[in-house]
Amino acid sequence: MKSPVCIETPRLRLFIAPVELAGRYLAYFERNRDHLARWDPPRPEGFYTEAFWRERLLRDHEDFAADRALRLALQWRGAPGGEVIGVCNFTQFVRGAFQAATLGYSLDQRAVGSGLMFEAIEAAIAYMFDTLGFHRVMANYLPHNERSGRLLRRLGFAVEGYARDYLFIDGAWRDHVLTALTNPRPAPPGGSRTTGAAHPVRGAGPRHG
């Protein structure tokens, strides 16, 4: 199953993972269980099984084809078939006059702190804006997730609000800071949506700040 999206940055490759990578996805989440527990929603049943990930990856391809979501796996560039070292997911696509999606992400604990997620998101957002024609990407974080807040600020996201009891995370309903980034080159809705073919984006340069 070939990925319809392949984005390359200086250090990373971002793509919709084939079903064959289910084991690598599972290994990523098992390896980072403690690292992600404070930040991620409760895991659905079967989350730590390969069967769950086979089904999830199949759905990722269907969701992209149906213009519902773009869920990207991160790997070291030049190591196809290797470890999954992070995820960058754009979900809840809304088209029409809104042209918006919600961003979520996480990185392998061993890779945190060297600017990798900035590199990944910057390139992925260029794809969302320039190739898929979105106008707005929204991302929300726990107020005490300072690293995530710093990352979003550096990417150019603006704080738009503060939502009480917004998501159920780590055993309780938690407040979130609401942020968004709008396309610096706005276009009318119904622009450049194209799927079904590989769209390599190489050497995406800095876009914000």
Ligand X SMILES: CC(C)(COP(=O)(O)OP(=O)(O)OC[C@H]1O[C@@H](n2cnc3c(N)ncnc32)[C@H](O)[C@@H]1OP(=O)(O)O)[C@@H](O)C(=O)NCCC(=O)NCCS
The residue ranges that bind ligand X (CB under 6 A) are 36, 39, 105-107, 112-118, 141, 145, 147-148, 150-151
Distance of CA 158 to the CA centre of its chain: 18
Q: How far is the CB of 145 from ligand X (least distance, A)?
A: 5
Closest distance of CB 65 from ligand X, Å: 26
Strands laid side by side in the 12-15 sheet? 6-8, 12-15, 70-76, 86-94, 100-107, 136-141, 172-182, 158-169
User: Would you say 86 or 133 has its CB closer to ligand X?
Assistant: 86
Q: Residue 12 CB, nearest distance to ligand X (Å)?
A: 10
Determine the distance from the C-alpha atom of residue 1 to the mean position of all C-alpha atoms in its chain, rounded to a whole number.
Answer: 20
Q: Which is nearer to ligand X, 112 or 201 (CB)?
A: 112
Q: Is 165 helix (H, G, I), strand (E, B) or coil?
A: strand
- Give the whole-angstrom CA distance, residue 194 versus residue 127: 11
Long-range CB contact pairs, 193-198, < 8 A, 24+: 193/67, 193/132, 193/133, 194/131, 194/132, 195/4, 195/64, 195/65, 195/67, 196/4, 196/65, 197/4, 198/2, 198/3, 198/4, 198/5, 198/6
Q: Which is nearer to ligand X, 82 or 113 (CB)?
A: 113
Q: Which residue's CB comes closest to ligand X?
A: 115
Choose between 107 and 132: whose C-beta lies nearer to ligand X. Answer: 107
Q: How far is the CB of 147 from ligand X (least distance, A)?
A: 4
- The nearest distance, CB 118 to ligand X, in angstroms, is 3
Looking at beta carbons only, is 20 or 165 nearer to ligand X?
165
